A and B are shown apart, each in its own frame.
Chain A
Amino acid sequence: MAVPTYATPLERIWHYAYLVICGLIFFFLIAPIVVIIPLSFNAEPYFTFTDRMLSFDPEGYSTRWYESLLTFGMQNPDATGWAFWSDAWNNASWVKAAKNSIIIGVFSTLLATVLGTLAALGLSRPEMPFRRAIMAILISPMIVPLIITATGMFFFYSNPCELLGILGLPTECGRLAGTYLGVILAHATLGIPFVIITVTATLVGFDQSLNRAAASLGANPRTTFFRVTMPLILPGVISGALFAFVTSFDEVVAVLFIAGPDQQTIPRQMWNGIREQISPAILAVATLLVIFSIALLTTVELLRRRSERIRGVTPH
C-alpha cells in the first residue's frame, strides 16, 4: 500500500502516522506474548527485568524455573540418572498434568472430529432439512458462556441418568464427573463447533460432481468417501481437529467443575498456580505453551495453503 502520487502533504503525514499507529497496535498484540519468554529465564523470583538481566549478565539468567517445573511434586528430586527421570515421569505434578492434557485432548479431539466431520458432510448437502436450525444448535457450545455450560455439565455429569426417571428407568448409573470419560465428553462438546465451522468451510468449495463421477465409475459410497471426498477435505478436517485440540488443551472452566483430582490438566494446574502463589514457574509453562502454539499455527497455515491449492482456489 503506497501513498498515491496525487496525495497532499497532509495526507502523506497522515499515512505515515497511520503506519505508526498500526505498528503500535501490532506491538500491543504481540508484546505481551513475547515478553514472558525472557522473563521466564529470570534468576530472581521477580516478574520484571532485573538490572542484571538488562545488562545481559549471564548471572541474571537461569533455567531454575524450568527445573522447578520438573521437580515440583517429585518424591526425591535429588536422585540422579534413571531414578530421577522415572520419579519425574510418575510423580511430578506438571508432568502428570501434561499427560492428562494430552490424553483428554487426543480422545476428545478424535470424538469431535469424527462426529463433526460426518455432520458437516450432511450439513453441506443441499437436501439437508432444517439446516439453519440444526447448524445453530451445533455451533451453540461456542457461543453459550462457558460458565453456564460448565454449570449444566456439573449437574448432568454428577448423575447422567437422572432424566431416565421420566421413562421409568433406574435413575442411578454412576458418575461421569471425576472420570476421564466425563472430561473427554465435555471437551468434545466444546470442540465440535470448531470442527463444524472449518469442515463446512472446506466443503463450500467442494465439487459434488466428483462424487457422482466416482459413483458412475462404479465406486460404492464408502470407496467414494475414502478415495475421493476425504483426501480433498482432509486439510480442513485436520485444521478443525487442531482447533478442537487447542480448545481442549486450553480449557479450564469445565475442568474446574467436573474433573476430579486425577484429571488435573495443564490449564487447571496454571489456574491453581495463578490464584494461589504466582511464581515465575508459571512463566516457564507459559513459554512452553507459546512455543507449542507457534508450532500449531504454522501447521494450520501450511494446511490452509495446501487446501487452497488442491481445491484450485487461488490464495486470496
Chain B
Amino acid sequence: MANALDPHAAIATTATGLADGRLRTADGKPLARALARSQSRARRRAFLLVLPLLAFILITFVVPIGQMLQRSFYNDGFSAHMPALGQWFDENPRGTDPDEAAWTALATDLEAAAEARTIGIVGTRINYDVPGTRSLFTSTGRQVRRGIEPPYREALLEIDEGWAEPRLWSAMRNASTPLTGNFYLAAVDRTRADDGSVVQVEERQRVYVMLFMRTFWLSLVITVITFALGFPIAHLLATLPMRKSNLLMILVLLPFWTSLLVRTTSWMVLLQQQGVINDILVWLGVIGGGQRLQMIYNQTGTIIAMTHILLPFMILPLYSVMRTINPSYVRAARSLGATSWTAFRRIYFPQTLPGLGAGALLVFILAVGYYITPALVGGSSGQLISNMIAMHMTDTLNWSMAAALAALLLGAVLLLYWVYDRMVGIDNLKLG
C-alpha cells in the first residue's frame, strides 16, 4: 500500500467493484493502465528537463565534430570543379592511358576552373597527394585561359612537361570521387602507389605513426609518474586526521584551480636555462655555469609540466577511494604476522585499485589530447598529435588531413572513455 505522501496514492486506492477481476482506481480506470500512464508521464517530465541541454550539446558540440570529421573522407575540391575529366575517369577503367578525349576534358575543365577562380582549390586538393602540383594547376590554368589550340596533349605538355606524370593522373583519378580514404592512409604514413596499391611513404616522410606512438608513450609515462607521486599523497591525506588533511588538501586543490597557462608559464620560468632551477643547481655546485641543463622546449619540459598539471586528477580519485578503506584490515593482517610490506601489498593496495583505475584512465585520457602545454614548452621533440592537428588547421590548411588525424585521436579517446564508463562509471567522476 502506498503511503499518504506518494503521488501515486491517488490511483492506488480502492480495490472494489471488480467486474472483470482487475484492480481499478477510485475513478474506475484499470490500475495497471493508470500506473503505466503515470510512469510514462514521469519519464517524459524527466526527459523534458534534460532535453534543452541535450539539444544544445548536440547542436553546438556533437554535430560540429561530426561535420568536421566528414572532411576526413569527403573532399570535393577536385570533383566539384573538374566535371568533364571526372566523367572521362568514370568511362575509362584504371590503367587506361589518357587519350585525346581525356586531354580535351582536362583542358576544358582547367579553362572553366580558371575562369571561375576555383583552380586554386583544385590544385590544393591534388597537392595533398602529389606535393608541389598546386602551382602546376594555377600556372597552366592561366595559360589555358589565354587560349590554346588542339591537339591538347601537345599543347598542355608544351606548357608544362609535368602533365605527363602518371602519378599526377593517378592522383586526379583518386580525387575525381569526393569520397576518399587517402587522408586516413596518409594519417598512418601510407599512400597509394601509381597502380593504386597501398604502400608506406618514404622513410623521411613518416611522421604520423611516430607522433601517435610518442603521444601514447608520453601519456603513459605521465600516467605512471602521476601515480608514483599521487599515491603517497593520497594515502597521507586519507590517513591523517580530518583537520590536518583538510589543510593539506588545499595544497592539492590550489594547483587544480590555478589557470593552466599560469602553471605552464611558471614551469617555463623555472626550467629555463637562465631560470631558477638551473641557478640553484649552479649555486649548489651540482653543475658548472657552462653546462646548464636543457630542461624545456623538449620532451622533459612536456613531461614535467604535464605531470604537475595532471597530478590532482590522480590524487582526487585515489583519495576518495582510500578514505573508504577500513584500517582494521591492515591491522588484522599485521596481527596475523604479516610484515608491513606484505600487509600493504596484499591487503591495502588491492583495495585502492578502483581509485587507481579511475585516476589513471582520467589522466591518460586528458594527457592524450593535450595541446596547450606541449605547444608552449614542448619544443619540437615534445609535440603531440594535437599539435599536428592544430598545425594542419592553421598553417598548412590541409583540413581533411587534420580531420583524419582528429578522427583517429577521437576514436582512441572515446574507446578509453567507454572503458572508463564501464569500469568506474561517469557518475563517479568527482571534482574536488
Contact = CB atoms under 8 A, between A and B. Distances in A.
Contacts of B340: 7, 11, 14
Sorted nearest first, the 6 A-B pairs with minimum C-beta distance are A145-B369, A122-B49, A156-B64, A152-B64, A152-B65, A119-B53
Interface residues of A, number: 103
Contacts of A116: 53
B359 to A, nearest CB: 15
Interface in B199-238: 229, 232-233, 236
B154 to A, nearest CB: 43
Contact of B68 (A30, A152, A249): A152
A109 interface: no
Q: Dominant SS at the A interface? A: helix
B50 A118 contact: yes
Contacts of A315: 242
Nearest to A196: B53
Interface in B6-52: 6-7, 39, 42-43, 45-50, 52
Task: Name which of B50, B63, B263, B402 has the most chain A CB atoms within 10 A of its CB.
Answer: B50
A30 B255 contact: yes
Interface string A94-123: 000000000000000000000110110111
Contacts of A139: 426, 429
B146 interface: no
A189 B64 CA distance: 12
Interface of B: 4-7, 39, 42-43, 45-50, 52-54, 56-58, 60-69, 71, 229, 232-233, 236, 239-242, 248, 250-255, 257-270, 272, 274-276, 279, 308, 311, 323, 334, 340, 365, 368-372, 376, 386, 389-390, 393, 399, 402-403, 406, 409-410, 413-414, 417, 421, 426-427, 429-432
A135 B420 CA distance: 13
A32 B308 contact: yes
Interface string A242-274: 010010011011000100000000010011001
Given A116-B53, A152-B68, A200-B427, 9 more contacts: A33-B263, A47-B269, A47-B275, A122-B50, A129-B47, A143-B417, A147-B389, A149-B65, A155-B68
A154 interface: yes
Given A274-B265, A286-B266, A132 B409 contact: no
Given A49-B279, A293-B257, A152 B251 contact: no
Task: Name which of B265, B340, B409 has the most chain A CB atoms within 10 A of its CB.
Answer: B265
Interface stretch (A62-70, A74-82, A275-283): A275-283
Contacts of A141: 57, 61
Contact of A286 (B7, B39, B262, B390): B262
Nearest to A185: B60
Given A46-B274, A122-B47, A250 B417 contact: no
Contact of B311 (A29, A152, A283): A29
Q: Dominant SS at the B interface? A: helix
7 contacts: A32-B263, A144-B413, A148-B65, A151-B403, A200-B427, A253-B371, A270-B261
A122 B61 contact: no
A101 B370 CA distance: 22
B162 to A, nearest CB: 33
A119 B54 contact: yes
Given A156-B63, A315-B242, A129 B248 contact: no
Interface stretch (A17-25, A85-93, A167-175): A17-25
A41 interface: no
Nearest to B311: A29
Contacts of A59: none
Given A145-B371, A271-B261, A213 B233 contact: no
B406 A147 contact: yes
Given A29-B255, A33-B254, A134 B60 contact: no
A186 interface: yes
Interface in A277-316: 278, 282-283, 286, 289-290, 293-294, 296-297, 300-301, 304, 315-316
Nearest to A135: B426
A146 B372 CA distance: 9
Contact of B409 (A30, A145, A209, A275): A145
Contacts of A1: 236, 239-241
B165 to A, nearest CB: 33
A282 B268 CA distance: 11
A161 to B, nearest CB: 11
A26 B233 contact: yes
A293 B260 CA distance: 11
Given A143-B417, A145-B369, A156-B63, A30 B272 contact: no
A47 B265 CA distance: 11
Given A25-B232, A119-B49, A249-B259, A316 B323 contact: yes
Contacts of A198: 431
Task: Name which of A28, A141, A147, A162 has the most chain B CB atoms within 10 A of its CB.
Answer: A147
Contact of B60 (A18, A30, A186, A296): A186
A128 interface: yes
Given A118-B53, A119-B49, A128-B46, A147 B386 contact: yes
A1 B237 CA distance: 10
Interface in A5-49: 6-7, 11, 14, 18-19, 21-22, 25-26, 28-30, 32-33, 35-36, 39, 46-49
Contact of A270 (B48, B68, B265, B406): B265
B369 A148 contact: yes
Contacts of A28: 229, 308
B267 to A, nearest CB: 6
Nearest to B49: A122
Contacts of A148: 65, 68, 369, 389, 406, 409-410
A151 B393 contact: yes
B47 A189 contact: no
A215 interface: yes
A282 B63 CA distance: 37
Given A128-B47, A197-B431, A250-B261, A138 B266 contact: no
A252 B365 CA distance: 19
